[in-house]
Amino acid sequence: MPDAQPHSDASPADRPPEIAAFDVVVVGAGFGGLYMLHRLRGLGLSARVFEAADGVGGTWYWNRYPGARCDVESMQYSYSFSEELQQEWHWPERFSAQPDILRYANHVADRFDLRRDIRFETRVTSVAWDEAAERWTVETDRGDRITARFCIMATGCLSAARMPDIPGLDSFEGDTYHTGHWPHEGVDLAGRRVAVIGTGSSAIQAIPVIAEQAGHVTVFQRTPNFSIPSRNKPMDAEYENLWKSDYRARRLKARTMRNGILYHLNDKGAMEVSEEDRLREYEARWEGGGIAFMAAYNNLALDAEANRTAADFVREKIRSIVRDPAKAEALMPRDYPIGTKRICVDTDYFETFNRDNVSLVDLRKTPIEAIAPKGVRTTDGTVHEADAIVFATGFDAMTGALLKAGIRGRGGLALADKWEEGPRSYLGLMVAGFPNLFTITGPGSPSVLSNMMVSIEQHVDWIADCLAYLGATGVRTIEATQEAEDAWVAHGMEVANRTLYPRAASWYMGANIPGKPRVFMPYIGGVGVYREKCDEIAAKGYEGFRLSPPPATAARAEAAE
């Protein structure tokens, strides 16, 4: 029997605190939380979803900066769980812009009537395991106090936006913005002097669009990034129909791919072919656009020499696009292998540096010293004047949002303490010491190295199947064993160390946050391999998890009743 479900209206801003019991609490109403709620309903479980924003969409709710767009193709960056939905929905562009993806998230919420179980504008402040009751107690900043057998964190990997600690920020006389918290009403930057700090994926998308409006844009670059043109275009009707004609088969195939994206992965190594062939292949991929560039050869993430050929190609492209040789040189990444910081995808990023109203400050030569009342001061004493500063400075990735929720497991153990030296989990799904708590696309799973939609659906389905199994076998708690967690963490590190990824000071490694442990956080073994592993573990009665009472005992007890 599901626990009581007191009321079902969408939350008004002034709703009274809710004190209630549910089967499941879900934290977050992005794509993970929405689909999780849908599956929980299908299992007949009662659920309460908490969402800090006033709407659904998660990352696509918050990241409304100019130019925000997905770099996984629209036909693949969408749910596959409903054939009707995927057949009926039409994406207007090859790569979807943020407003279209948000529109889709809202459509899904309405279509599956999800809003009535979501409490918006409500931030979870504490998630504590009650040992005696074998339930989670979840508290919010609106005074809600919910107990639930299960808690599912659908808080996203890139949701805790990060403002760098630069002195003098409060003294700035102009406006400041973070790409991850862009004002909903939009920002009129027309004719203004805009400083953009950061040159990651967000900045690389935003800068060309801002430059078209602003009077002047000054880009503050600490680390140059590799970026591939998107070649975005209106959706081609024939291409859309081709996908829809065998959508299901294509989705199934994508799930077996390394990163959950169906594209042509060359099965050859870069050094197996002549230089001429290699350049032809890179050129074709550059012209084709998007992250498929990194699939030009099967060893670009593994072999330094192979990787250098791809990096050299992109550096040459930068040289050929950017007319000012000094700017071109400054924009060329040289101190990490291509792809080991998240590859960027752009529309006219490098071309934008040919505009008269765009200048580049190389922070490796003159770091930022402080924010001054009139702009950004670098160590050479120059104040780069600005009316607005855009912080495109990224996120406390993968662990930030989880740690902010105040999770405490067995014996009051804080997740923050358990993860003091970096995140540890079993499969990125559960953490030893935290029974009945699941993380959707948590650290230790392919997550950010994959098509998030594919990884979200896989996790949600796995969790839903697990809950169904526990229900059917009378098991009250499931928890990762310490041994299974240790082995998974060791395996994850071993696989990562076989690649070039740990060579970059990236947010994958926690390197963007001062003091954050340097641990490669996502699982890089591949989406297909990972899925098989998860399925195998479930098929073996959840190997590596402690089930209490054990299913056989539970079944016997049930039979005796």
- 368 touching ligand N01, by CB under 6 A: yes
Tally of residues, the chain:
561
Q: How many CB atoms lie within 10 A of CB 131?
A: 12
CA distances from 511 to 341, 394, 397, 502 (A): 11, 12, 10, 10
Dist CA 380 CA 364 (whole Å): 12
Q: Which is nearer to ligand N01, 79 or 545 (CB)?
A: 79
For residue 200, state whether it binds ligand N01 (rule: CB under 6 A). yes
**Region near ligand N01 per CB under 6 A, out of 196-204, 247-255, 318-326, 459-467:** 196-204
CB of residue 263 to ligand N01, shortest distance in Å: 15
Binding residue for ligand N01, selected from 201, 340, 439, 458, defined by CB under 6 A: 201
Distance CA 438, CA 431 (A): 8
- Measured CA to CA, the distance from residue 304 to residue 470 in angstroms comes to 46
CA distance 478 to 551: 11
Among 199, 218, 352, 441, binds ligand N01 (CB under 6 A): 199
CB-nearest residue to ligand N01: 200
Residue 450 within binding range of ligand N01, rule CB under 6 A = no
Q: Looking only at residues 47 through 76 of this chain, which bind ligand N01 when binding is defined by CB under 6 A?
A: 69-71
218 in contact with ligand N01 (CB under 6 A): no
Whichever of 164 and 168 has its CB closer to ligand N01, that residue is 164
Q: Which residues pair with 378 in a beta bridge?
A: 368
Residues between 322 and 351 with contacts to ligand N01, criterion CB under 6 A: 342, 345
* Chosen residue from 378, 393, 425, 441 binding ligand N01 by CB under 6 A: 393
Which CA distances in Å does 484 have to 497, 498, 542, 544? 20, 21, 11, 5
By CB under 6 A, is residue 398 in contact with ligand N01? no
Among residues 295 and 480, whose Cβ is nearest to ligand N01?
295
Q: Are 22 and 44 in contact (CB under 8 A)?
A: no
* Sheet with 358-362: strands ordered across: 175-178, 388-391, 193-197, 216-221, 358-362
Minimum CB–partner distance for residue 401 and ligand N01 (Å): 13
Residues facing 69 on adjacent strands: 97
Is 512 a residue that touches ligand N01 (CB under 6 A)?
Answer: yes
Given 20, 103, 107, 164, the residue binding ligand N01 (CB under 6 A): 164
Report the residue number, 151 or 500, with the smaller CB distance to ligand N01: 500
Q: Bridge partners of 346?
A: 229
Footprint on this chain of ligand N01 (rule: CB under 6 A): 69-71, 158, 164, 166, 179, 197-203, 205, 220, 222-223, 342, 345, 363, 368, 392-395, 448, 507, 512
